[in-house]
Each structure stands twice: as structure tokens, then as C-alpha cells.
């Protein structure tokens, strides 16, 4: 049983974390239901419906709020908002946009799904149709603006979190539209040039676009009420001290939304905006995410003891005798070459939008294609560098069938744990922007197409990792530290540099208007910088999984198979489907 102790610990962490998250998100008697509803063009839309205590069809209807996430996110990233809205007596529909999460269709289609979400919310007999709020983060703001355009009399107030009115994705705002609007735009938002036409987010109040929206020629003052709530022309600007993705996990950003709906919607159960419990849910699902990795590794360890995998266990044979100049060169190249290629290749991946329709249907996720191009070019460069530098050769053991069989079983055990968490607690495994979701049937088919290509990357990269950086005599601490540094140190450096510059100057290192921005586009760079936040925990976890499997089998193959399964699942379930057909 000792072989399965780690798996048991992982299962315990998943259960404990899921239970904590469930208790928090159902605090004060809130009921959470997964819902499906019809969208335009026969698309099936998905959402989580939060129903406050004692709200039934027989009781008086209560205010409702449509909450919509941003690009390449899902309904779960709105948990902090949804939990707190529901605690205040609002029925909340946290919706997956079209082409995101469990909703069908393609991203950007059907008004991002916003009109369909508002139509469904208004169809519920428990919702007071005269008191509906719309809240959207980033592209979710454009979704709720589309809903407001489709149904101008279908809502009473709106909160745009890290979003904007106007071209290219929404109608232009005026002093009278949208109705009763709060603009919550963080002081360090990365998209200020795109959204509000100002070089720095801190200067958004001085921009002509926001001044026109607020009906003033003077700079818009934060925290100052413009217009009239009763007339529907109210406006307010709030600027919490966080970044664009930081809005999801900011008590200040969530508090501003709570305060605005408390002022503009009639009904509900008033609470101070400072009374927030949602972070406990983040802690719970974060513990479950750690438990998932622990469970998968524990399952690998336990399964190795079975006779069917007798050909796998073997002590590793490091190719290097010591940490010499070649070792340090290999470490630096492994850690930082991916960063050198990150922005150019992630941006070059946009060319996949030009693929023939047949290939788009096979590989229909734009961001996944960007990441895949970056990964495959990295694999080619690794092979070239290893050849030119005459790097040590890895051990060539190839128990292919056993390696894939054990990897598939471990991934299946992890997937089963997520299924159980969803059924018991209505939670996934996540912390902030790092989240592991269940695959829809369509996403499972996409994953099958992406998996072989991601495996090529992991097979090449992990073979090189163990050949170049494994040193004879190293203990487990040094081995795991090396694996994590090699896979993740470059992303740590990248994020420190980028966000250090952002907090110090208000700009990323390549601001709008700079020479590199003209080539790559400031918008694309900001998006890819935000995507890079996920790369640090993801790549660090890959380093741990790779070393764990190698220490027990002496070959990179099982770790490469397992990493390709887990990472393909992670990316495909969390990335927008937008190019199909």
C-alpha cells in the first residue's frame, strides 16, 4: 500500500479542496445549477445558474445578473463575482461565451453569446425583469454590450470590468447608452491602448473616448457619479490597483461591481461591499489542483508496481558526471531559448487563421495553434543545438506500449477525479487563471488531433532535458530543482521584467507605438504576456512530472506521454474554438 500513499494523499486533497470550495460558493444557502439553453443558429449555450436561498417560482421575483468572462476563459473565472452577487440575493447566470467552455459555436459569433444569455435570464420566472444587471470582463464586456444593443430595455445597469465600448467589437458609447454604466478599469490594465485609446491605463480618465461616454470635456474623475441613476444615464469610473487578469482575483474590483449594482438595482439582500468570502473558493479549488497533480503522480508510482508494467522500472543513468561549462550552457539554453522565441512564434501562429477550412476543422483553436507552433519550433531548435554542441546522448529505451498505457491510465484517473468533483461539488481544479476543466465531446476530438504534435515536443524536449542536465550523484532535491528551473525559469524572468516595467512605467516593455509593437501589435503582445502567466505554473509542473517519471523508469518516454496528455487536455479545454469550418 505504500506505493499508493501518494495517490491517497492526492485524493484527500481533491476531496478536501472541493468540499471547501463547495461550502464557500453555496454560502448563505445559494444553490448552483449547470444549465444549457438554446442560442442563435441552433448553438447550445452553457452556464452556471446561482439561485439565492428561498428564491422559488412561488416567491416574488428578485434581481438577476448576467456575468460573462473574457477571451480564452470560461464561466468559472467569474466565480468571485457570481458568488458575491448571489450572496446579495441576485440570481446570477455565469455564462460560457460562444466557442468557450461548454458552449457551442465559434468565438466572436452571435454577439459573443451575450444576447442569448440575457434572453435566457429574462425567461426565468424567478428573475425580476425590471432589475437586471449586466457584468462582463474584457471580451465579456463586449458580450454584455451586444446584449444591451439587442435588448435596450432588457436591463437596468451594467458593469464593464477591464472592457470598453466602441469599435471594433461593440457599439460606441454615449452619455445615454449603455444604461447606468460603471467602468471598472484597473490602473495597470495591459490593453489600455486598444480599449480606450490611451497609452497607460492610469490615464483612461483623460482619454477622449471615455470623456465622450461620460458626457464631459474635462478628465473623468474616479469615484465621481455622473448623470442620473433614475434616468438611466449614471456613469462612474473605478480604478483598482491591479492588472487586466487581476480583476478576477481582486477584492477591490469585485467590490466596485457589488457597490454599483447595490446602488442601481432594486431588491436583493444588501451587504457591505467589503463583506466577501469568494477567495475561500479559490483556495479550495487551488488545493484540489495540487491534489490532482499529486494523485496523477501517485497513480504512476502505484501502477509501476503491477506486473503489466514490469518492463518500465529502472534506475536512471545520468549522462553528465558534473556541472561543467557545458551543463550551465545547456541550462541557460533550455530555460531561455523558449522565451526568445515566445513572442515572435506566438504571434506568427496567427497565420493559422489562413489555413484551409479542412485543416481549421481539424485544429480549430487559434491560441492552441500558436502554442503548438512555438512548441514544435522549439523542438526543432533543440535537435539542432544538441547536434551542433554534441550534447550527451540520452538513454534509448523504448517501452512504447507500456509507457503510453501507464500514461493513459494516470490521465484517466485524474479525469475521473475531475468528473467526481464536478458531480459532487460543481467545481473544477483551478487557481486564478490556471484551471483544468472537463472536455466537451467536441474538445475531446480536437485534443485527439493536437495530441500527437504536442507529444513530439515533449519527447524531444524531455529527452534533451534528462540527457543534458541530469548529473550523476544528484539527490532528488537537486533533480527536481533542475527540472523546474530548466522548464520555468525563463518564464519567471519574462514575467518579472514585463510586470516590473508595467508597474514602474505603466507600459509593458514593448508599449503601443514602439517599433516592435508596429511589427507584432501591442494588442497581440499584451495578450501573449497574459497567456505567459499560465506558463510558469504549467512549465514548472511539467518539470516535476518529467523528473518524477524519469527517476522511476530511467527514460523520458513515460513522462513525455503523460505530459502530452495532460497539457493537451489543459490547453484544449481552456482555449476558444473559433476557426472550425
Q: The domain spanning residue 89 has which CATH number?
A: 3.40.50.1820
Answer yes or no: is 299 within a domain: no
User: Among residues of the chain, what percentage have pLDDT more than 70?
Assistant: 94
Is the confidence at residue 512, as pLDDT, over 70? no
* pLDDT confidence of residue 321: 87
Contact between 330 and 543 under an 8 Å Cβ cutoff? The reply is no
3-state secondary structure of 243: strand
Q: What would the pLDDT profile of 325-369 be if each residue is shown by its tens digit?
A: 888 998 999 999 999 999 888 876 666 666 777 778 888 998 999
Query: Could you list the residue range(s) of the whole structural domain that residue 125 is in?
Result: 24-280
Query: What's the count of helices (H) and strands (E) in the chain, helices before strands?
Result: 17, 10
Q: Report pLDDT for 516.
A: 46
Same domain, 504 and 559: yes
Q: Are residues 254 and 350 in the same domain?
A: no
Mean pLDDT in residue range 434-456? 96
**Is 129:165 a contact under the CB 8 Å cutoff?**
no
Any domain includes 122:
yes
Flag whether 433 is in a domain.
Answer: no
Q: What is the pLDDT of residue 393?
A: 67
Q: Which of 319, 320, 308, 315 is nearest to 553 (CA)?
A: 315
- Asked if residue 156 and residue 84 are part of one domain, the reply reads yes
| pLDDT exceeds cutoff 70 at 396 | no
SS3 335: helix
DSSP assignment string, 419-441 = HHHHHHHS--EEETTEEE-PPPH
The verdict on 126 and 236 lying in the same domain is yes
Mean pLDDT on 488-497:
95
Of 52-56, 269-273, 344-348, 353-357, the range with the lowest mean pLDDT is 353-357
Region 262-272 average pLDDT = 94
For residues 202 and 321, state if they share a domain. Answer: no
**Does 322 share its domain with 271?**
no
* pLDDT per residue as tens digits for the range 61-120: 999 999 999 999 999 999 999 999 999 999 999 999 999 999 999 999 999 999 999 999
Residue 101 domain-assigned (yes or no): yes
User: How does residue 515 score in pLDDT terms, banded at 50, 70 and 90?
Assistant: very low
**Shared domain check, 505 and 372:** yes
pLDDT at 244 > cutoff 70: yes
How high is the pLDDT of residue 139?
97
Q: What is the pLDDT of residue 25?
A: 97
Same-domain status, 371 and 263: no
Last residue of a domain, one of 280, 301, 328: 280
Per DSSP, the residues of 55-116 read --TTSPPEEEEEEE--TT--GGGGHHHHHHHHHTT-EEEEEPPTTSTT--S-TT-GGGGHHH
Q: Provide the domain count of the chain.
A: 2
CA 333 to chain centre: 28
Axis-axis angle for helices 522-553, 279-303 (nearest 10): 40
Q: Are residues 335 and 272 in the same domain?
A: no
Residue 203 has pLDDT above 70, yes or no: yes
SS3 label, residue 41 = helix
The strand order across the sheet containing 31-38 reads 31-38, 44-51, 91-95, 62-68, 127-137, 157-161, 181-184, 235-238
Q: Is residue 205 part of a domain?
A: yes
Over residues 398-419, mean pLDDT: 95
Same domain assignment for residues 268 and 392: no
Residue 402 belongs to a domain: no
For the segment 392-400, the average pLDDT, to the nearest whole number, is 70
pTM of the model: 0.94
Q: Grade residue 513 by pLDDT with cuts at 50, 70 and 90.
A: very low
Q: Of 288, 293, 285, 286, nearest to 480 (Cα)?
A: 293
Enumerate long-range contacts of 418-423, CB under 8 Å, 24 or more apart.
418/292, 420/14, 421/14, 421/18, 421/288
pLDDT at 519: 41
Residue 429 falls inside a structural domain: no
pLDDT in tens, 117-138: 999 999 999 999 999 999 999 9
Domain end: 264, 280, 296, which one? 280
Task: Say how far apart CA 556 and CA 543 lie, in whole Å.
Answer: 12
Q: What is the pLDDT of residue 319?
A: 80
Mean pLDDT of the chain: 93
- Give the tens place of pLDDT for each residue, 302-312: 999 999 999 99
What b-and-e string marks burial along 500-531, b requiring 16 or more CB atoms within 10 Å of the CB?
eebeeebbbbbbbeeeebeebbbebbbbbbbb
Assess if residue 420 is contained within a domain: no
What pLDDT, in 10s, does the model give residues 280-292?
999 999 999 999 9
| 335 and 198 both lie in a single domain | no
Compute the average pLDDT of residues 145-154.
97
What was the pLDDT predicted at 359? Answer: 79
In this structure, the answer to whether residues 245 and 347 fall within a common structural domain is: no
Closest CA to 575 of 72, 182, 35: 72
Amino acid at each position: 500500500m505504500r506505493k499508493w500513499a501518494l495517490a491517497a494523499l492526492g485524493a484527500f486533497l481533491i476531496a478536501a479542496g472541493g468540499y471547501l470550495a463547495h461550502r464557500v460558493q453555496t454560502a448563505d444557502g445559494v444553490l448552483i445549477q449547470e444549465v444549457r439553453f438554446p442560442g442563435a443558429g441552433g448553438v447550445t449555450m452553457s452556464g452556471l445558474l446561482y439561485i439565492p436561498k428561498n428564491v422559488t417560482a412561488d416567491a416574488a421575483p428578485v434581481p438577476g445578473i448576467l456575468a460573462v468572462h473574457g477571451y480564452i476563459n470560461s464561466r468559472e473565472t467569474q466565480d468571485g463575482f457570481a458568488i458575491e452577487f448571489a450572496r446579495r440575493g441576485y440570481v446570477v447566470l455565469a455564462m460560457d461565451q460562444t466557442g468557450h467552455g461548454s458552449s457551442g459555436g465559434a468565438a466572436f459569433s452571435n454577439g459573443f453569446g451575450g444576447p442569448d444569455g440575457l434572453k435566457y435570464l429574462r425567461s426565468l420566472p424567478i428573475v425580476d425583469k425590471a432589475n437586471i444587471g449586466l457584468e462582463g470582463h474584457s471580451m465579456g464586456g463586449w458580450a454584455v454590450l451586444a446584449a444591451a444593443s439587442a435588448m435596450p430595455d432588457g436591463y437596468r445597469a451594467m458593469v464593464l470590468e477591464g472592457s470598453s465600448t466602441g469599435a471594433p467589437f461593440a457599439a460606441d458609447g454615449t452619455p445615454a447608452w449603455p444604461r447606468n454604466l460603471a467602468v471598472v478599469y484597473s490602473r495597470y490594465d495591459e490593453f489600455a491602448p486598444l480599449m480606450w485609446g490611451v497609452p497607460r491605463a492610469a490615464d483612461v480618465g483623460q482619454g477622449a473616448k471615455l470623456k465622450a461616454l461620460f458626457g464631459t470635456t474635462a478628465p473623468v474623475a474616479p469615484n465621481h457619479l455622473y448623470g442620473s441613476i433614475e434616468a438611466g444615464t449614471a456613469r462612474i469610473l473605478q480604478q483598482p490597483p491591479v492588472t487586466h487578469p487581476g480583476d478576477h482575483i481582486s477584492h477591490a474590483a469585485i467590490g466596485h461591481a457589488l457597490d454599483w449594482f447595490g446602488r442601481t438595482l432594486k431588491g436583493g439582500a444588501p451587504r457591505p461591499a467589503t463583506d466577501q468570502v469568494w477567495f475561500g473558493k479559490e483556495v479550495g479549488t487551488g488545493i484540489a489542483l495540487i491534489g490532482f497533480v499529486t494523485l496523477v503522480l501517485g497513480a504512476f508510482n502505484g501502477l509501476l508496481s503491477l506486473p503489466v508494467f514490469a518492463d518500465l522500472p529502472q534506475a536512471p543513468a545520468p549522462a553528465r558526471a558534473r556541472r561543467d561549462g557545458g551543463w550551465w550552457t545547456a541550462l541557460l539554453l533550455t530555460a531561455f531559448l523558449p522565451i526568445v522565441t515566445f513572442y515572435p512564434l506566438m504571434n506568427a501562429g496567427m497565420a493559422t487563421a489562413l489555413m484551409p477550412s479542412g485543416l481549421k476543422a481539424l485544429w480549430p483553436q487559434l491560441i492552441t495553434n500558436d502554442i503548438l507552433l512555438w512548441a514544435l519550433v522549439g523542438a526543432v531548435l533543440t535537435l539542432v543545438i544538441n547536434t551542433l554542441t554534441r550534447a550527451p546522448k540520452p538513454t534509448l529505451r523504448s517501452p512504447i506500449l507500456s509507457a503510453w498505457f501507464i500514461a493513459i491510465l494516470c490521465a484517466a484517473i485524474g479525469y475521473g477525479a475531475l468528473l467526481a468533483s464536478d458531480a459532487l461539488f460543481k467545481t473544477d481544479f483551478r487557481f486564478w487563471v490556471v484551471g483544468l476543466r472537463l472536455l466537451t465531446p467536441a474538445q475531446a476530438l480536437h485534443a485527439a488531433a493536437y495530441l500527437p504534435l504536442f507529444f513530439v515536443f515533449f519527447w524531444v524536449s524531455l529527452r534533451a532535458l534528462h540527457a543534458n542536465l541530469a548529473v550523476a550523484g544528484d539527490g532528488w532535491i537537486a533533480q527536481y530543482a533542475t527540472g523546474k528551473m530548466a522548464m520555468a525559469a525563463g518564464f519567471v524572468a519574462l514575467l518579472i521584467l514585463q510586470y516590473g516595467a508595467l508597474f514602474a512605467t505603466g507600459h509593458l516593455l514593448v508599449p503601443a507605438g514602439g517599433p516592435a509593437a508596429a511589427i507584432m501589435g501591442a494588442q497581440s503582445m499584451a495578450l501573449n504576456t497574459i497567456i505567459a502567466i499560465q506558463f510558469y505554473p504549467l512549465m514548472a509542473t511539467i518539470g516535476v512530472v518529467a523528473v518524477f517519471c524519469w527517476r522511476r523508469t530511467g527514460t523520458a518516454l513515460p513522462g513525455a506521454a503523460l505530459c502530452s496528455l495532460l497539457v493537451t487536455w489543459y490547453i484544449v479545454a481552456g482555449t476558444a474554438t473559433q476557426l472550425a469550418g
